[in-house]
């Protein structure tokens, strides 16, 4: 490589260029010194030697002789586990983090099934970014243990300082395990390392890695429920992979489009001819109930629609077609009440046009909403357990179709009984899904 530098008129008498060279992602040299260049007639200053630092600094790690165990969690060491209460010694699907204070340092243990890496982060909030990260990265038949810093939703920047001590690792049955010790307080030059005597949220993530470069995590990170002091008393911590805002989003949309809207449809379709003279507050009973249920559907949809934007801070680029269909549902849900405000009188000659438009828009909204929910329950930010969560959602749809068919051929006296049976079944299925959302 040939480089030409055109010196400015006020250039110094002597210049030395420092060069950074990258041979690969894991091997590079920083501030390698070039020769000192001096102007004519100026004696060159004495040479200063710079130590070129190699980015992939490593320490010699030992091999763990046995798997980690959850024994002592909450009494001798703090633990964060997924599933809750699992033991990495007996469960290869267990994601496990433990830490305990040892004098002026803290010993960490990290374990989990992964193709490329397992990691945890110390964070001052529940958002990814400006976090102190520690990774155990599989490289063929060994594991590299690294400290890093994440400034945002980007690849971690590895630390060039060897701040980890007593590093050890183990590979077995697709599970990556590593342990290390880190001083509680680090020298000032470690700008992006957090002091371990403070309180933080804990993140746990895993995913693929290639040539030492980590890819985006496979699942939503597990985030501790509350902040904990790393050097504090031992705790058995809990966490969730689904942010609270996304849980509310899923719950509101499920209630709106699997319960309130279906009850409102049944009320208008089958109780209108059977309750023709019953009034409440000056309006037909069926109409008041239908309007109340549909207004509740629109309200739940509106609140649920806003929540993902609040969580993401904008549009999600990784959610596939789900958010686009959600926008369609939101638009159709708003069109329905607006259309109803301008409906003609019941005896108007063109009332049938409104009736068909109202029916068509409502049916389209219901169908698109159900499809959107099927896609949404497996989005990374919610990720309900498959396949049984899909089966429960399908059961809700089938239950509504069966109730609709029965009501089409019902005898007049059985209408309230069929409605009661339908609502009980619907609430049962819905409760199962809402409980599942709360548990993820």
The helix (H) or strand (E) run that includes residue 399 is helix 388-408
The helix (H) or strand (E) run that includes residue 244 is helix 244-255
How far is 127 from 130, CA to CA, in rounded Å? 9
Residue appearing with tokens 């805002």? 245
Res. 55: pLDDT tops 50 = no
> Contact 89/68 with Cβ under 8 angstroms?
yes
How far is 427 from 24, CA to CA, in rounded Å? 58
Structural domains of the chain sorted by starting position, each given as residue range(s) with its CATH number in brackets: 14-54 (no CATH), 62-240 (2.60.40.1210), 244-439 (1.20.120)
Q: Is the pTM of this model over 0.85?
A: no
E runs forming strands in 124-232:
131-139, 142-150, 157-158, 164-172, 175-183, 199-210, 213-217, 222-224, 228-229
Asked which of 29-33, 104-108, 131-135 is least confident by mean pLDDT, the reply is 29-33
Amino acid 118: pLDDT: 96
Amino acid 223: pLDDT: 94
How far is 335 from 347, CA to CA, in rounded Å? 23
Higher pLDDT among residues 332 and 215, named by residue: 332
Amino acid 89: pLDDT: 93
pLDDT, tens digit (0-9, with 9 covering 90-100), for 244-302: 999 999 999 999 999 999 999 998 888 877 766 666 766 788 889 999 999 999 999 99
Helix extents (H) in 256-387: 261-270, 285-312, 322-341, 351-376
Q: Is 370 left (phi over 0), alpha (psi -120 to 50) or beta?
A: alpha
Amino acid 25: pLDDT: 55
> Stretch 321-336: mean pLDDT, rounded?
96
pLDDT, tens digit (0-9, with 9 covering 90-100), for 160-208: 778 999 999 999 888 999 999 999 999 888 888 999 999 999 999 999 9
> Contact 348/366 with Cβ under 8 angstroms?
no
Percent of the chain with pLDDT over 90: 56
Higher pLDDT among residues 347 and 26, named by residue: 347
Give just the sign of the alpha carbon dihedral 161, 164, 165, 166: negative
Q: Strand pairing of 199-210 and 175-183?
A: unpaired
Res. 430: pLDDT tops 60 = yes
Per-residue pLDDT band at 54 (split at 50, 70, 90): very low
Q: Which two tokens stand for residue 117?
A: 């890496």
Q: How many residues does the chain have?
A: 440
Question: DSSP 3-state helix, strand, coil percentages of the chain (rounded to 5)?
Answer: 35, 30, 40
Amino acid 24: pLDDT: 60
């Amino acid at each position: 490589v040939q480089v030409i530098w055109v010196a400015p008129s006020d250039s110094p008498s002597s210049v030395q260029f420092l060069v950074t060279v990258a041979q690969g992602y894991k091997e590079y040299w920083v501030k390698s010194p070039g020769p000192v260049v001096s102007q004519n007639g100026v004696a060159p200053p004495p040479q200063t030697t710079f130590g070129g630092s190699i980015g992939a600094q490593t320490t010699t790690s030992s091999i763990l002789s046995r798997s980690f165990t959850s024994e002592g969690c909450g009494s001798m060491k703090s633990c964060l586990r997924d599933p809750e209460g699992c033991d990495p010694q007996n469960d290869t699907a267990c994601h496990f983090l433990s830490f305990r204070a040892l004098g002026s340092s803290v010993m960490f243990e990290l374990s989990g099934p992964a193709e490329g890496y397992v990691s945890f982060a110390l964070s001052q909030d529940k958002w990814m970014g400006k976090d102190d990260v520690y990774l155990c990265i599989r490289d063929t038949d060994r594991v590299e243990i690294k400290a890093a810093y994440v400034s945002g939703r980007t690849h971690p920047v590895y630390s060039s300082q060897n701040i980890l001590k007593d590093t050890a690792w183990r590979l077995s049955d697709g599970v990556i395990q590593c342990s290390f010790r880190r001083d509680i307080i680090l020298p000032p030059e470690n700008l992006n390392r957090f002091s371990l005597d403070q309180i933080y949220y804990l993140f746990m993530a895993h995913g693929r890695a290639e040539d030492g470069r980590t890819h985006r995590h496979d699942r939503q990170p597990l985030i501790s429920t509350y902040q904990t002091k790393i050097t504090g008393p031992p705790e058995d911590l809990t966490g969730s992979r689904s942010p609270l805002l996304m849980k509310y989003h899923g719950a509101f949309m499920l209630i709106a489009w699997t319960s309130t809207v279906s009850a409102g449809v049944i009320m208008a379709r089958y109780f209108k001819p059977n309750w023709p003279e019953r009034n409440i507050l000056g309006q037909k009973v069926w109409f008041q109930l239908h309007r109340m249920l549909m207004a509740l559907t629109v309200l739940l949809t509106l609140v649920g629609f806003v929540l993902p934007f609040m969580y993401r801070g904008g549009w999600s680029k990784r959610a596939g077609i789900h958010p686009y269909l959600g926008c369609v549902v939101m638009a159709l849900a708003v069109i329905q009440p607006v259309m109803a405000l301008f409906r003609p009188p019941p005896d108007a000659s063109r009332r049938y046009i409104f009736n068909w438009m109202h029916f068509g828009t409502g049916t389209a909204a219901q169908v698109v909403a159900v499809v959107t929910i099927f896609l949404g329950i497996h989005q990374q930010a919610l990720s309900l357990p498959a396949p049984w969560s899909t089966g429960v959602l399908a059961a809700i749809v089938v239950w509504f179709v069966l109730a609709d068919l029965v009501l089409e051929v019902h005898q007049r006296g059985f209408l309230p009984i069929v409605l009661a049976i339908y609502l009980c079944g619907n609430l049962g299925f819905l409760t199962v899904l809402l409980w599942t959302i709360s548990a993820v």
